Amino acid sequence: MDQDEDEMRAVIERIEQLKMEHRDLDQVIAHLMESATYDELQMRRLKRRKLLLKDQIALLERRLNPDIPA
């Protein structure tokens, strides 16, 4: 196995970890929203973290499938 394959597998593994954390945050946010009283600051932080994860996932996915210029 060459270095490129190792790097690609590491990127794929990292993407899966980030996606799992993103799904977990979805559940936490949904649970908090069901609560009659929730901390607005905490909710904003969770949503900000979720957006950051989404951006990191997109960045890593672009590394795996870069746009090929025409």
Query: Which carries the bigger pLDDT value, residue 66 or residue 49?
Result: 49
CA distance to 11, 16, 29, 38, 65, per residue, from 61 (Å): 8, 11, 25, 34, 6
**pLDDT score for 66:** 79
Quick one: angle between helices 40-64 and 3-34, nearest 10? 160
Whether the per-residue pLDDT at 36 is higher than 90: the answer is no
Q: Can you state the percent helix, strand and coil of the chain, rounding each to 5?
A: 80, 0, 20
pTM: 0.83
Q: Minimal CA–CA distance to 56: which of 7, 9, 17, 27?
A: 17
